[in-house]
A and B are shown apart, each in its own frame.
Chain A
Amino acid sequence: MIALFLRDIRLAVRAGGGFGLGLAFFLIVIVLVPFAVGPETALLARIAPGILWVGALLACLLSLDRIFALDREDGSLDLIATSPLPLEGVCAMKALSHWVTTGLPLVIAAPVLGLLMSLPSEGYLWLVVSLALGTPALSVIGTFGAALTVGIKRGGLLLSLLVLPLYVPTLIFGAEVARAGATGLAVETQLVLLAAVTCVTMALLPFASAAVLRMNLR
């Protein structure tokens, strides 16, 4: 299981692995928004939490179809499925390595990009907390979507359509935490709900992903 995780990380950082893809996309979106909206600090500060969250979510979405499609194309998915690894564990590991290569860099880069969006100083902590808590859910849900569409060639569009509605609760509560934090309001309720969404998806979706993967491998 650890071997699979290490292999996926190694594949991601080697040439053509798409490690920087999500991060670069996030960077581009956040750098371009102030140009498009105009140099009004007050307006930018108000929309900053939302824009940062939408940017992070779309950046996550970008690399989802790589989770299983590459292993499917070269036949390793069949071989992994017939190996001693439980498929549920494989799905959990795939989600984890997706988070480490996509979600974690976004969490780390977000405060720097918050500066570009003139995020109020009290907002930084809650922005990072909300992203750190919410992006694992994005990876786990995304892995489920990738498992659903694994048999389909160039299934990226279908994958996005399937996954986007499932991302909405995480986006609402995550952006709400960041927004309330930036305006100095209480964040507990939203934070607990965001954590709940993440916990439930992490507990249940690997099993669902493994089940649909078994169907798709037939």
Chain B
Amino acid sequence: MSLKVVDLGVARGGVPVLEGVNFAADPGEAVVLTGPNGVGKTTLLRTLAGLQPPYAGKIILPDAEAIAYAGHADGIKAVLSVRENLSFWARVYGHGDIQPALEGFGLIDLAERPAGNLSAGQKRRLGLARLAVTGRPIWVLDEPTVSLDKQSVAMFGAAVRRHLDGGGTAVIASHIDMGLPVRVIDMTPFRARASVSRQYDEAFL
């Protein structure tokens, strides 16, 4: 399952932020996007995930339902237990077994705890464990290592490595070294010229 991005331009609120982005990620390969705050990494990832349409260029995917997206927020319900949170997503994606995901992210001992009582790092781990139950080949991750300690970062790195070894692909916006063989792409050269596109309908909003 490979992901290919051709001449992609993305916009936020009608203002183009990135232009002419080209890259490809083949099975077993992880691409890390870097760049200063506000350069448009999140916007690019949201576009890849299909939450907004690109304003120029193309995203070529093997099939429409290939991407698992994880944003800044983990989508955790505080009053549900860790197990309930995870099995909800497992059922949405049609996979029954959450045990490997719980094990992979060290959540076994926390499984019956209400998610609201978890620490920030534990919540983040639960949010990332969701990726493992989606069963989707392309992971699109926005700053996945925020609030994780060194050990959890290693745990996350191992999970990504398992995913890549299984023929998966990952596109990650991050500044932290996860101990993975990755291709780093700096977003700064793709910054769009500061102009408001007149063709785009959201320019008037």
A residues with a Cβ closer than 8 A to B are: 2-4, 7, 10-11, 14-17, 71, 73-85, 217-218
Q: Are A217 and B79 in contact (CB under 8 A)?
A: no
The segment from B31-39, B86-94, B98-106, B161-169 that touches chain A is: B86-94
Out of B50, B73, B92, name the residue touching A4 (CB < 8 Å). B92
Q: Is the CB of B91 within 8 A of A3?
A: yes
Question: Looking at chain A's contact residues, is the secondary structure mostly helix, strand, loop, or mixed?
Answer: helix
Contact B94 A75 (CB under 8 A): no
> How many residues of B are in contact with the other chain, CB < 8 A?
30
Report the minimal beta-carbon distance from A4 to chain B, rounded to whole angstroms.
Answer: 7
Cα-based distance from A73 to B68 in the complex (angstroms): 20
B143 nearest CB across to chain A (Å): 13
Contact with B76, one of A15, A74, A83 (Cβ below 8 angstroms): A74
Q: Does B112 interact with chain A (Cβ within 8 Å)?
A: no
Q: Is B7 an interface residue (CB 8 A)?
A: no
The contact of A82 among B51, B78, B84, B202, by CB within 8 Å, is B51
Point out the residues of chain A lying under 8 angstroms from B68, CB to CB.
82
A84 touches B75 (CB 8 A): no
B residues 75-134 touching A (CB-CB < 8 Å): 75-80, 84, 88-89, 91-94, 130, 134
Provided the pairs A84-B94, A85-B92, A217-B52 are in contact, do residues A15 and B79 lie with their beta carbons within 8 angstroms? yes
**Can you give 19 A-B contacts (C-beta < 8 A)?**
A3-B92, A7-B88, A11-B80, A14-B80, A74-B73, A74-B74, A74-B75, A74-B76, A75-B71, A78-B51, A78-B69, A78-B75, A79-B71, A79-B89, A81-B51, A83-B89, A84-B92, A85-B92, A217-B51
Report the minimal beta-carbon distance from A189 to chain B, rounded to whole angstroms: 44
Contacts of B80 in A (CB 8 A): 7, 10-11, 14
| A17-B79, A82-B69, A217-B51 known; A75+B92 contact, CB < 8 A | no
Specify the chain B residue showing the minimal Cβ separation from A217.
B51
Find chain B residues with CB under 8 A from A4 CB: 88, 92
